Amino acid sequence: MSPPQTTLGQVTTKDYRGVAIHTYNAPEEGLYVASQIVETADGLVVFDAVFHVKHAEELANYIAGLGKPVNRIVLSHIHPDHWSGLGVLHARFPKAPIYAFPEIIAYIRKNGQKILDARNEAFGPVVAKTPTLPDHDLAVGEATIGGVRFEFERQPDGESDWQSIVRLPVAGVVMAFDLVFPPETHLFTVANYYDHWVEILRGLKGDAAKGYDTLMIGRGKPVGFDVIESNIAYLHKAKELHAANSTAESYAEALKGAYPGYYGGGWVDFSSLLLYKIINP
Ligand SMILES: [Zn+2]
């Protein structure tokens, strides 16, 4: 069966030491947000569900076209550009359990509807109307799914209040989601967690010495570990600018001024409104 075509987003498919993983990236208007589809012996494990409904529908079509059952869907963190599309995936693959750490589920239960209402107002009615909650608690530690070993780690206070890190030791892959951003791209600094985020990144850097060589990130294609150092430098700079700026506008301008060549200037404005709690949540 030849892989299905996509017209909105882009798919990168690669064999990682015997484990095939498809990375779906939404197009620019969908913030290039990524969903990872891991092929196992008996089905698919899907990580994250993208932001715009139409991109989630394309993602669902792509997944269906792979011709294998979806055995599990996993949500990486609390941000809506990763869970807005869960309703589309759930409708298309109703038997697939949706996993997330309990803190992530609790956050969406409490804030999800308010967030979707605000994002539909800010970006036009492009995201889900109601949140779809993960229905299974993810556990920290190892799980073997379809013969592939996954290691699930939970971290507070990074790019958001709660993040997941997923390691596939056999594939040499670490899924860092929004904890790592592509090279020469602005990070989403939507919360004042600079120090702990840097600490998490220092920990991730250590994985390179353990034989991992690929990072799957929250937007864009998979990258190598060399990107982590520039992410850390960016966070140090952003922390300094946050301390020196009392408004969302001046922080955003200072950050864009510090990295004039970086992609994502538009999302710096939005991130800053969240950081300074002009938009909350
Ligand atoms: Zn995020």
7 alpha carbon – ligand 1 mean position (Å): 25
User: Helix 265-275 and helix 248-258: axis angle, to 10°?
Assistant: 140
**pLDDT at residue 3, rounded to an integer:** 73
Distance 2 CA to ligand 1 centre (A): 32
Instruction: Give pLDDT tens digits for 88-145.
Output: 999 999 999 999 999 999 999 999 999 999 999 999 999 999 999 999 999 999 999 9
pLDDT tens by residue, 217-256: 999 999 999 999 999 999 999 999 999 999 999 999 999 9
Q: In whole angstroms, give the CA distance from residue 243 to residue 263.
A: 23
Percent of the chain with pLDDT over 70: 99
d(CA 120, CA 124): 5
Ligand 1 midpoint to CA 94 (Å): 25
Q: Which pLDDT does position 1 carry in this prediction?
A: 57
Q: How does pLDDT run across 8-24, given as a tens digit for each residue?
A: 999 999 999 999 999 99
Whether 117 and 14 have beta carbons less than 8 Å apart is answered as no
Domain ranges of the chain: 10-275
CA of 79 to the centre of ligand 1 (A): 5
pLDDT tens digits for 47-66? 999 999 999 999 999 999 99
pLDDT of residue 50: 98
The hierarchical CATH code for the domain 10-275 is: 3.60.15.10
What residues flank ion ligand 1 with Cβ within 5 A?
79, 159, 178
End-to-end CA distance of the chain, in Å?
43
pLDDT of res. 232: 98
Cα 153 to Cα 107, 162, 167, 261, distances in angstroms: 18, 11, 8, 33
Tell me how far apart the alpha carbons of residues 220 and 44 are, in angstroms, rounded to a whole number: 21
Strands 43-47 and 70-74: parallel
Instruction: Please report, as a single letter, which amino acid is at residue 118.
Output: A
Model confidence at 4, pLDDT cuts 50, 70, 90, reads confident
* Contact partners, residue 179, CB within 8 Å, separation at least 6: 155, 158, 159, 163, 165, 197, 200, 201, 204, 217, 218
* Owner of token pair 């969908």: 30
Residue 188 CA to ligand 1 center (angstroms) comes to 7
pLDDT of 2 over the 90 cut = no
pLDDT tens for each residue of 153-202: 999 999 999 999 999 999 999 999 999 999 999 999 999 999 999 999 99
Distance 20 CA to ligand 1 centre (A): 25
Q: How far is the CA of 149 from the centre of ligand 1 (A)?
A: 25
User: How far does the centroid of ligand 1 lie from the alpha carbon of residue 193, in Å?
Assistant: 13
